[in-house]
Amino acid sequence: MIFCAIPGLFLTVWLLIAGDGNALSIGYYGFECPMAEAIVKSTVEQALRKDPTLAAGLLRMHFHDCFVQGCDGSVLIDSTKDNTAEKDSPANLSLRGYEVIDKAKQLLEGWCPGVVSCADILAMAARDAVFFAPNDLCEWREQSQESSEQLQRTEGGSAGGPVYEIPKGRKDGRRSRIEDTINLPPPTLNVSGLIRMFAQHGFSAQEMVVLSGGHTLGVARCSSFKQRLSKFDSTHDVDPSIDSSFGQSLAMKCSAGDTTEVAFDASRNTFDSAYFKAIQTSMGLLFSDQTLSSSPRTRVVVNAYAMNQALFFFDFQKAMVKMGLLDVKEDDEGDVRLNCRKIN
């Protein structure tokens, strides 16, 4: 039997959390809403069974939430006549899975009204989306006598992303403005810019690369990378860092329009190391993907994850826990929203 969970992971994650000085905790809802974890996990599992592509949307939504005003669920808020919210920024138009968060919130309000924040639901949903996304090492399947939360990993199939636990206790923010999304890294950023932007949030270059590995799931619209395919700069029509055959293929696909979607790698719904292998072969989709191979500082990390998928999983889990603690709001700094789309 193959176990994808890395030995010592939960100890490592616990030490990371305990040493952070943060009031969040693993068992935050243990007394007031003990079913919180199971409800979110079941909701995400059901959604991904119907549409596996939602895994990418939920993971990206958590990232886009945390990098703007911290992990406070602000990306979930709808725009009003007086305010254009984060979710309507061009940088967020490709996010998907809001209905999954709404469903989990509805169920939780039925069990324990006013207890579980939308920010925590989103953080748990992103974790569970990774958990249920396939990979090429393990297979998840339900044991016939167990509930859907009790899963067994067995050798020889293709399902099951990495497993990690997160602390809870985030409160929901009261601000969501489109102008704040300027803090999201654009797809045209070079490696120096990426290192600098992630460093502002306390991440190392290695952590930036491993978080970029979230692009192993999902797609990007042609509008995000079309600048690589023609009139790239004063010297090159096509980005010289892109494989020529791959570039021609992308140009053909994007002739259908800017909203055409292209997968980041050959296994768009599979959580694996294919993203890093694509970069190695000059087939990173976004400029901000391929640029990771342009610096020795990041290239060595790309190569390590391309060669060792277990290492990628282990480092990804640690980086996701750290990201989930960005500028969290606690106590009276925020609220527990009754509706994730509206400020109380």
Q: Looking at 62, 64, 201, 236, which residue is catalytic? A: 64
Q: Mind giving me the DSSP string for 4-40?
A: -SPTTHHHHHHHHHHTTT-S-BTTTTTTT-TTHHHHH
pLDDT digits (tens, 9 = 90+) for 41-50: 999 999 999 9
SS (H, E, C) 226-266: HHHCCCCCCCCCCCCCCCHHHHHHHHHHHCCCCCCEEECCC
Beta strands 139-142 and 261-263 are unpaired
Q: Is 64 a catalytic residue?
A: yes
**What does the mean pLDDT of the chain come to?**
88
Q: Which architecture, in CATH terms, is 35-136+162-218+264-324?
A: Orthogonal Bundle (1.10)
Question: Would you say residue 151 has pLDDT above 50?
Answer: no
For 234-245, give one letter per residue: b (16+ CB within 10 A) or e: eeeebbebbeee
Q: Which residue has the tokens 């748990």?
A: 124
In this prediction, residue 14 has a pLDDT band, given cuts at 50, 70 and 90, of very low
User: Cβ(337)–Cβ(117) under 8 Å?
Assistant: yes
Parse the chain into domains and list their residue ranges.
35-136+162-218+264-324
pLDDT for the residue 161: 72
- Which H helix or E strand runs over 152? strand 151-154
Give percent of the chain above pLDDT 70.
86
Q: Which of 253, 277, 250 is nearest to 265 (CA)?
A: 277
Q: Annotated binding site for substrate, which residues?
A: 185
pLDDT for the residue 135: 61
pLDDT for the residue 163: 85
User: Cβ(190)–Cβ(292) under 8 Å?
Assistant: no
Please state the pTM of the whole predicted model. 0.87
Helices 309-323 and 118-132: crossing angle in degrees, nearest 10, is 180
Question: Would you say residue 21 has pLDDT above 50?
Answer: no
Q: Annotated binding site, which residues?
A: 65, 68, 70, 72, 74, 86, 185, 215-216, 265, 272
User: Cβ(328)–Cβ(119) under 8 Å?
Assistant: yes
pLDDT digits (tens, 9 = 90+) for 290-334: 999 999 999 999 999 999 999 999 999 999 999 999 999 998 899
The pLDDT of 201-220, averaged and rounded, is: 96
pLDDT for the residue 139: 37
Which range among 12-21, 109-118, 256-265, 334-343 shows the weakest confidence by mean pLDDT?
A: 12-21
Give percent of the chain above pLDDT 90.
81
Query: What single DSSP character describes residue 269?
Result: T
pLDDT for the residue 93: 86
pLDDT for the residue 153: 37
pLDDT digits (tens, 9 = 90+) for 214-228: 999 999 999 999 999
Q: Annotated binding site for heme b, which residues?
A: 215
pLDDT for the residue 144: 30
Question: Would you say residue 29 has pLDDT above 60?
Answer: yes
Centre a 10 Å sphere on the Cβ of residue 93 and count the other Cβ atoms it contains. 12
pLDDT for the residue 245: 96
pLDDT digits (tens, 9 = 90+) for 226-283: 999 999 999 999 999 999 999 999 999 999 999 999 999 988 889 999 999 999 999 9
User: Cβ(185)–Cβ(191) under 8 Å?
Assistant: no
pLDDT digits (tens, 9 = 90+) for 175-201: 999 999 998 999 999 999 999 999 999
The pLDDT of 75-101, averaged and rounded, is: 95
